[in-house]
Structure 1
Amino acid sequence: MYTSGARKPLVRIMFDKFDTDKSGFLDSAELKSLCYDLGHPLSPVELDLALKMLDENGDGKISYNEFAQWWQQQDRFNKLTYDEEEIRSVTAAVKYFQHFDKDKSGTIDANEFKALYKDLLKNGFRIGTVEQALSTLDSNGDGHVSLREYVDWLVAVGSIVLKEKPAE
């Protein structure tokens, strides 16, 4: 993949270093180690939420692409740490999301989204038609709403308030 003399990108070096079992994925223990070693220890609750937020496809592990997407964000570690109020809000959002993820795939597909949409309307969200709402929440356009997309949307509309944290 890399020619001799070509340097691996830092994101690949970091991923490979912490993928200690060489599975091609980071699991919970490997993510915990990475955060701790880089000076950002996570509580067990934060670790659980971090794994859910970084695991875009809901398979229970973090692929290189999922990791790279997170790693490229300047405030990457700030997005993984929460105070008690934020933990309650994000945990409630995760449980709500999981209620509508009927097949437990880690994403909400178009069929599952219809029930979520109806419930959002019932709870006072005005988000247009079901198609418009799906398009809004599905920020990467893959036809599914991931937990991260859902939480990002809740933050954007002000349903979850995450406190500003100082830049790293």
Structure 2
Amino acid sequence: MIDQTIIVLSFIILFCISNGYIEGSELDNFLREFIYSVFSEELGNETIPSDELELMKKEFMEAFDENSDNRIELTEMAKILPTEENFILLFHRDNPLDSSVEFMRVWKRFDKDRSGYIEADELKSFLLHLLKEAKPETNIEEAKLIEYTSSILQLFDQNKDGKLQLSEMARLLPVKENYLCRPIFKNASKITSADIDRAFSLYDLDANGTIEDEELSGFLKDLLELAQEDYDEDDLEFFKKVILNQWDVNKDGKINRDELKMMLMQQSRLLSDKL
């Protein structure tokens, strides 16, 4: 019997670099990798003939392309998977977090030893939480949970250190939108008071008039992502010191609305100069 986990892993890889579906050359690559994964011993170093690949592709599409649009969507693939694999496959697309503030709260919840990384046992707890939240009555075997954890690490642990740093976890658990990426923040002359108010309210979730703690970490995460793709908690802490040193005028370790305005206007001017 074909190992369902191979399907999950292969499709998540493709989903992470596409738009929630595979077609054309992506589909060919998926089928080729899938076949090699399942029949590696039988195939050895042999190349799959193109006519055989086309035949397999035709049979695959007839079986799974339910809406006959000549591509395989995530939901079509997920329907053939058991509940746990189905959920792990779909949560990445269907359940983005509302903001990076929420992301930082999840991060701090599961980085239990405060090491600055989500290690294997912490990732296992995170995946168990996701599965239990989706279906509380689900009884997940420990061996299966370890398998899922190992699979996620293989996919998202880009530097192969056996744990997830901030940027790697952010790819696993995406947010709906980095608000600071909006075009309005690339032109200082077009930023309005309403834009500043909207940005401030997105991060000041408790509405106490300051951006602090996880709110500040979430804001800095979004700001940092404008400059670099790969980062860890040490990078975030260093960035926090730089930002607070420059923009925290009253030195309270927080960011208020006026300080945020000055910061975003400066960021926008820098981006405008680069265009």
Bigger radius of gyration among the two: 2
- TM-score by shorter chain over 0.5: no
Please state which band the TM-score falls in when normalised by the shorter chain. Answer: 0.3 to 0.5
The structure richer in helix per residue is: 2
What TM-score do the two structures reach when normalised by structure 1?
0.38
The structure whose RCO (Cα within 8 Å, separation 6+) is larger is 1
What is the TM-score normalised by the length of structure 2?
Answer: 0.25
